Amino acid sequence: MRAAARPGTIGVAALLFLLAQPAWAEDRVSVRGMYYREASTRVVQPLAVITKDLPAGFDIGVHYALDAITSASEAQGNETDYIRTELRHEASLAVGKRFDRTRVAVAVRESREPDYQSHSGGVSVTRGVWDNSGVVGLNGSVARDTLSRGALDMANQKFHLTILFAGVSYDQALTPTLRAQLGYEFMYQDGFLGNVYRNVPNFGLEKPPDTRFRHALTPRVARYFPTVGLGLQLHYRFYFDHWTGDAIERAAGQFVRPEYGADPWFGFAHTVEGRIFKELGRDVEVRLSYRYHTQTSTDFYCNTYGNLGGDPGCYPQFSLYYSADEKLGGLDTHMPEVKVYWTPRIFANVPVLRHFAHGTVELSYAYLFQQTHYGDAHFLQSGYTLPF
Amino acid sequence: MRISRSLTLALLLAVGAGAGCATQPPVRAWQREHLAKRAMQFDDGLEGRFRSHLFYAREGAFGGYGDAGGGCGCN
């Protein structure tokens, strides 16, 4: 588990991805490779997913992912880095059952790395409504994580984190070329919410509040222009945190900006993403996108990074909470991306390769602009999906 | 009084919308060709999953990708 410098690892996401497979999903196999690179971190992740419809309305999905992360971790706060490479293995299994317009699915997931283990399970229900022109979705999951400092901690102290997640969404086709979706997601986290390798100057191991309520409201709209083979999408997310703390913490009132009350997490964020899809002939499609994210600082956080305008001694001596996690402060990120989809039908008559002619090849590149000490990042993905 | 009028109006709108739903959907099954296009899909699948974890590790927000993030040492 290393540091703040771990961007690409996968969690409950895999579980919910499998849960979310549509009931009419074709049998298919997907393989992907992801590469993420910033100044002090490199993530390489191969991944494979297989989904298959079974008799009697059942379907099944399995996935396996391997994360190889090399990073300079901040085991000594902002002062000293050291290089580590670590592997994480993750697998999940999901089983769904279709009842007319309704699909119910359950899934389990296991993730293991030397200093972080996570077990989770979840359920999802989707139902087509209004002659299947709309879809209502509900999903939820529970995860239990165990953290440690691995070989760095002779005492082998364990930390725990419990995560409850719930989401509801409604997706509606408004016209033959216009579609809209509204979603709400909620997460409750209870346990150690910091990073066991990240220290705060003058305090040692960071100590964020141990409870967090998180909310995200996500409207989306998509429009297609058939005459020019062009599609547009607009995604928006409004996110906010809240937690009033317990009586002792309210009484202590030692938050950095008490004008917001006694909510140490107080903060919100706006995220907007626009996408343009353009078909180039029968087999190629290009997607251009731009994502912008802005957020306020949580109430208890202060910037201890002197080289980024912060003050290493900014936390008062008797602070209740302290963290050197920059993503808890105010920040903006920008991410332009280009992606190409290609169906290699040109191989349809080529021996051996013809078996791959009806799959889809995907290749994307994104550049992430960040204000934090991580610096800007390159993000490359490739994938191939083959129906069978 | 004003509240009662508002409630009545809201109720009428709801009944109207419900009645509309009961008659026919805005898009019939044979009109959905374009809705199946990639450009009309919101689910990013595997790509979205990796993106969600990237942003989970680098931003203070979460959500919009149908997953909770976490489950890893990416905090």
Of A166-170, A259-263, A298-302, which range is least confident?
A: A259-263
pLDDT for A89: 94
Non-local CB neighbours of A376 within 8 Å, separated by 6+ positions: A38, A367, A368, A369, A370
Please report residues of A whose CB lies closer than 8 A to that of B43. 20
Contact A180, A172 (CB under 8 A): yes
CB pairs under 8 A between A and B: 242
Q: Which two tokens stand for residue A126?
A: 């989707």
What one-character-per-residue DSSP string does A85-119 give? EEEEEEEEEEEEEEETTEEEEEEEEEEEETTEEEE
pLDDT for B21: 52
- pLDDT-based confidence at residue B52 (cuts at 50, 70, 90): confident
Q: Which two tokens stand for residue A4?
A: 């703040």
Per-residue pLDDT tens digits for A234-280? 999 999 987 766 545 555 555 445 554 567 888 899 999 999 999 99
Query: For testing the chain B interface, which of A64, A133, A192, A280 should be mutated: the one with the most B CBs within 10 Å?
Result: A133
Per-residue pLDDT tens digits for A350-388? 999 999 999 999 999 999 999 898 999 999 999 999 998
Please report residues of A whose CB lies closer than 8 A to that of B75. 4, 6, 193-195, 325
- pLDDT-based confidence at residue A22 (cuts at 50, 70, 90): very low
- Say yes or no to pLDDT of A220 above 70: yes
Q: Which two tokens stand for residue A113?
A: 């790395």
Q: Which two tokens stand for residue A27?
A: 């049998």
Cα separation values, A112 from A75, A382, B47, Å? 21, 24, 21
CA angle centred on A322, ends A272 and A211, rounded to 5° = 65
Separation of alpha carbons A111 and A114, rounded Å: 10
- Say yes or no to pLDDT of A4 above 60: no
Rounded to two decimals, what is the model's pTM? 0.86
Of A184-188, A341-345, B64-68, which range is least confident?
A: B64-68
- pLDDT-based confidence at residue B17 (cuts at 50, 70, 90): low
- Say yes or no to pLDDT of A230 above 70: yes
Provide the shortest C-alpha distance from residue B1 to chain A (in Å): 33
Residue A290: CA count within 13 A, CB half-sphere? 0
Separation of alpha carbons A330 and A269, rounded Å: 9
pLDDT for A5: 40
What are the backbone dihedrals phi and psi of residue A246, each rounded to the nearest 5 degrees, phi first?
Answer: -95, 180
- Would you call B72 and A237 a contact, using CB atoms and an 8 Å cutoff? no
Contact A189, A161 (CB under 8 A): yes
Residue position matching structure tokens 């009944």: B15
Number of H helices, E strands in chain B: 2, 0
Separation of alpha carbons A52 and A384, rounded Å: 17
Non-local CB neighbours of B47 within 8 Å, separated by 6+ positions: A32, A362, A364, A381, A383
What are the backbone dihedrals phi and psi of residue A297, each rounded to the nearest 5 degrees, phi first?
Answer: -80, 150
Q: Which two tokens stand for residue B73?
A: 């040492």
Which of B46, B32, B13, B49 has its CA nearest to residue A135? B32
Residue type, A350: V
Q: Greater confidence, A129 or A256? A: A129
Q: CB A100: neighbour CB atoms within 10 A?
A: 9
- Would you call A372 and B58 a contact, using CB atoms and an 8 Å cutoff? yes
What one-character-per-residue DSSP string does A149-203 give? -GGG-TT--EEEEEEEEEEEEEEEEEETTEEEEEEEEEEEEEE--S-TT-EETTT
Contact A6, A88 (CB under 8 A): no
